[in-house]
Amino acid sequence: MDKDSDSSFFYLDKAKELFHKKNDSFGMGKSFVNMAIIQEKEGDNFGSIETSLYADQFFKEKDTAHYNFLFSNYNNLGVASNNLKNYKDSKRFYDKAFQFTKDPIDKLMLANNIAIVFHNEKRYNKAVNIYTRLLDSVGSKSEFYPRLLLNFSRSKWFEDKNYNPVHNYLLAEKLSENLDDEWTKDAAFAYLSAYYLNKNADSSRLYANKMLDLAQKLNYPADQLEALQNLIKISDGKLSQKYFDDYSRIQDSLVNAQNKAKNQFALIRFESEKSKSENLKLQKEHAEHEYQVERQNLIIGLLLLFFIFSVIVTYIWIKKRRQKQIAEANNQLQEQRLDFSKKVHDVVANGIYEVMTTIENQNDLPKEKILDKLELMYEKSRDLSYDNNTPQQEFDERISSLISSFDNEKTKIIIIGNDPDFWIDINRFSQDELFQIIRELLINMKKHSKASQVILRFVKDINYKEIKYIDNGIGVTQGFVEKNGFANMRSRLAEINSKLEIEESNAGLRLSIKL
């Protein structure tokens, strides 16, 4: 474990504690992600996965500000899982990482990582397909082209042993040298040495030595071991023994470094948790002392507050209850007044208008009939105070009588479908409301429409009943605003679960009452 990694991990752990004190969960999550990445680079794959999984709880997947760290965290989980040959989880984490990035380079890296997992699973055709797609997308001028070309050629050779990847390996090595990319050059030497291992010992030795020199320069023990392993296989005698001794020395050093890194990470975490535990213990003792000092004062204060609160709540409850009773009484009185006013309007005002219309339209109307209508009005007016519901004539006859009182030479009214069957299953209250609505329609027609012909059609179907009104008057003009008449009608219809619809028409008024 190098000093930079050691220091970085230590200070990230300290930063995590500061974020914890500030209740900054996002800051804590960022610290844990970076700690996990350091652990993976130092070979502590199990510890890295543990830290990354712990970091995940501090991020919100619906918050775009967290996406960069969610991406880094899931990518790190994929890399560490692949290192441990847990390929199923590795692909699952890489797929998850795709959800949190829109950056083309990030997506390219993830696709390359997934292809590496497929190669490690020996599903070479899937790896080749991914690399082919990536090579087409980046083009030969891209800085990523040499590495992708190397990986493609390696997987293609593993898929088809008759395929010769050497040309692409050499091309990738040359391009990486132009780009000053020594890591890709190192990979090219590794692939070339592996290809020639069982074909041409001299070529394999050449590239293994180049790989060994470059890996030493890059201070990358894993590739030094791979180069030495190839050299051991193609060497004899003392030279083979020398390579084997170097291999053992580097491997022991690498294992010790990894174990040291794991122990150092664990020690830093342990010291952090120990310090945190001691601080919590001191805080607890201080809190207990403060609690004992303030407890009695708190109890006295709570009792006093409870008493004041009870007095206030009782006062507010009594006041609100009194206000509610007054409001309910006023509302009830207002409703009674409105109901009585509506009845007076229906019985007296509309009744008088009906009698006036009858006298105006029927010159030869017998005096006795006029007296009968006036007497009926008188009876209804007198019964308003008693809310009396005296038996009346058949309802279809009442409707016919009402409509005929508005029929005259200037305005002809046609009635269709006003049969007893139409009204038979409509209750008394609904009938009375519909009577008032039809009378309101006819009064409005008489006052405003200038119609010469009116059609009232009563339609009965299996599932519904409908009253259609059509006239050839002036109709509804542009900017028409419904006033009291229409408002009253809609209010009545709402009470009987029905509605009024005004239909579009080029001339006259067309409306429908849906029962």
Average pLDDT by stretches of 10, the chain with 515 residues? 66 82 88 89 88 91 91 94 93 93 92 94 95 92 93 94 94 91 93 93 93 91 90 88 89 73 60 53 59 79 80 79 70 64 64 70 62 59 51 82 90 94 92 92 88 94 90 80 81 91 85 92
Rounded distance between C-alpha atoms, residue 189 and residue 507, angstroms: 92
- Structural domain contains residue 134: no
Residue with tokens 């049969």: 419
Residue 507, domain extent: 395-514
- Structural domain contains residue 132: no
435, 426 Cβ separation under 8 angstroms: no
**CATH number for 476:** 3.30.565.10
Instruction: Give residue-wise pLDDT tens across range 32-54.
Output: 999 899 888 888 889 999 999 99
Residue 511: beta bridge partners?
Answer: 469, 502
**CATH number for 73:** 1.25.40.10
**Eight-state DSSP code of residue 141:** T
Please tell me the predicted confidence (pLDDT) of residue 163. Answer: 95
- Structural domain contains residue 127: no
- Structural domain contains residue 224: no
- Structural domain contains residue 470: yes
Total domains present in the chain: 2
Q: Please identify, among 39, 73, 102, the residue that sits at the C-terminal boundary of a domain.
A: 102
Residue 504, sorted as left (phi over 0), alpha (psi -120 to 50) or beta, turns out to be beta
Please tell me the predicted confidence (pLDDT) of residue 153. Answer: 95
- Structural domain contains residue 332: no
Among candidate residues 100, 78, 98, the one with its CA nearest the CA of residue 89: 78
Among candidate residues 39, 52, 97, the one with its CA nearest the CA of residue 71: 97
> Would the pTM count as exceeding 0.85?
no
Please tell me the predicted confidence (pLDDT) of residue 368. Answer: 54
Q: Please identify, among 102, 129, 147, the residue that sits at the C-terminal boundary of a domain.
A: 102
- Structural domain contains residue 112: no
Please tell me the predicted confidence (pLDDT) of residue 40. Answer: 87
- Structural domain contains residue 47: yes
